[in-house]
Amino acid sequence: MLHSVLSPSRAIKTRLRLNHWSLLAVIVCACLLIFASTVVSEDQVAHTGVSSFQLFLTSAVAILAIATTMKLREDSTREPPPRALVIAAAAFILLLVLAVVSLPLAKHWVSAQYGTPSAVVPVPLSYLVNPLITAGLSCLLAILAVNLVPSSQQFEILWLFAFAGAVTTPIGVWWNASNAELYGRWATRLAGAAVLHTALLLGLAICAAAVIVGHRRGLSALSSAAYVIWIMATGARTGVITLALFMALFILPSIIDMAKRRPNRLPLIVSSAVAGMTAFAAVAWHVMEQRGFKLTGAGRVETWVYGIEQALGSLTTLVFGVGYGVLWPWYAFETNRLPQAGAHGPKQMPEGITLSHAHNTYVAVFSEQGLVGLALLLVLAGVVCWAWWRARGVIERAIASGLVATLVGFAFDTYLTKNFPVSFIWWSALASLLVMMNHRRNREPETLRLLEAASAGATTPARVLTLGHR
């Protein structure tokens, strides 16, 4: 089976050399993540509804868009973006466009106080539009950054960011705890305890793949162990579930494959796997016990019922939803722009009682944008599942397994249209995976031809030796 990355032996010896475009993309993304880790990304600028993270995103997108244009002028023969990435991004952007179109077609009201649904105040339009803009910019920046990096360097750069994430997560927790109450659970300014596990899981996927292929194995192993600990430290039940799913999709099959290829090490592999799974089960049991063995927190199920009932109110709302921001104007709540301000606690709406946001990406999209919006979201989820099915090699399967696992997490919190720093990380992982897969598929015909020539007695080019299993 062909791989889209360097062989383990070569990956260890090769030093990463970035051209000026790749270096620019890395610097911009690093600055963005550092900025998001030091400030609250939802904080607005001067009561305008524009967040500081949105301003940073806008500047970053402008820089990389100019760089992309200049790069295309220099190298017009570069591979176009993968078709799957275009489909995923187009579906998401269309989802955002439909949300914007729905804004003037619906009334956006919030009850002035809890318990009195009839006394209402309007939601300012800017607090509905700007989150949609931020969501689109997060997706666009990830795609621009990934496409500035050569396909052969995608994994190494992902590893650098994953390693940095493993090292800096405790620093982020300390920084957040020094400025806010910790509640006994790990959280950072990058993401709260309920959503941080998504970014951590993707970092774990990259580092776990690096361990198997031999890419900086020692550091990768330590980072993988750290990520597992950090995920458990968030106390997120969804984190436990998604981690278990990732293990089922990638780690266990990889262990079985390793045992088949190295039967002499079977006792060591089996004992290590049993010890690891036992430790995971013990810690997972503790986390779930602390949360009362419930899959959802207070008010989440009621919030889901509230949203679904509104969508089922008529044929029009079933197909198109009640309108974006009608049920959950979350940004206006979290920036204290509305009565009943705050990110937590139940909110009184004219339609009923709910939390500040849906705590479920699928319910949020279906309720406010109907079956049309849900279909577009499922197209995006379908691309992720397709990537997992078509993934080849350790690295592709690891990242794809991590992304599939996060789709389950989407059912317990709101992503892509909220939690923008984590959404940016998610889009970056997806874009890198699809670029690597596309590069591998484009090279397979040439590689097969060269291998056929070699089998017929011709000289085998050196680059062929970097492909295949270890």
Question: pTM, whole model, 2 decimals?
Answer: 0.86
Instruction: Give Cβ neighbours of residue 258 (< 8 Å, ≥ 6 apart).
Output: 212, 265, 269
Q: Does residue 329 have a pLDDT over 80?
A: yes
Q: Which SS3 state, helix, strand or coil, does residue 341 take? A: coil
Residue 316, exposed/middle/buried by CB under 10 A (0-12, 13-18, 19+)?
exposed
Per mean pLDDT, which range of 9-23, 91-105, 305-319 is the poorest?
A: 9-23
Instruction: Please report the pLDDT score of residue 388 as a whole number.
Output: 93
Q: What is the chain's mean pLDDT, rounded? A: 83
Distances (CA, A) of 73 to 31, 69, 350, 432: 26, 6, 54, 22
CA distances (Å), origin 288, targets 171, 187, 236, 267, 404: 25, 18, 8, 31, 22
Task: Give the pLDDT confidence score for residue 47 in this predicted structure.
Answer: 78
Is residue 10 very low, low, confident or very high in pLDDT (cuts 50, 70, 90)?
A: very low
DSSP letter (8 states) at residue 299: T
Range 79-83, long-range pairs (CB < 8 A, 24+ positions): 79/151, 79/438, 79/439, 79/442, 81/143, 81/147, 81/435, 82/434, 82/435, 82/437, 82/438, 83/438
Alpha carbon 269 to chain centroid, angstroms: 31
Phi–psi pair at 409, nearest 5 degrees: -60, -30
Burial of 282 (0-12, 13-18, 19+ CB in 10 A): exposed
Average pLDDT over residues 263-271: 68
According to DSSP, residue 412 is labeled T
Query: pLDDT tens digit string along 338-353?
Result: 888 887 888 989 888 9
Using left for φ > 0, alpha for ψ between -120 and 50, and beta otherwise, residue 47 falls in: left
Task: Give 213-251 as a DSSP string.
Answer: HTSSHHHHHHHHHHHHHHHHHTT-HHHHHHHHHHIIIII
Over 60: is that where the pLDDT of 143 sits?
yes
Q: What span, in angstroms and rounded, lies between the C-alpha atoms of 203 and 430?
A: 13
Tell me how far apart the alpha carbons of residues 150 and 242 are, in angstroms, rounded to a whole number: 30
Q: How many CB atoms lie within 10 A of CB 430?
A: 27
Lowest mean pLDDT among 22-31, 267-276, 327-336: 267-276
Tokens of 67: 């760089």
CB 241 within 8 A of CB 198: no
State how beta strands 116-122 and 347-349 pair: unpaired
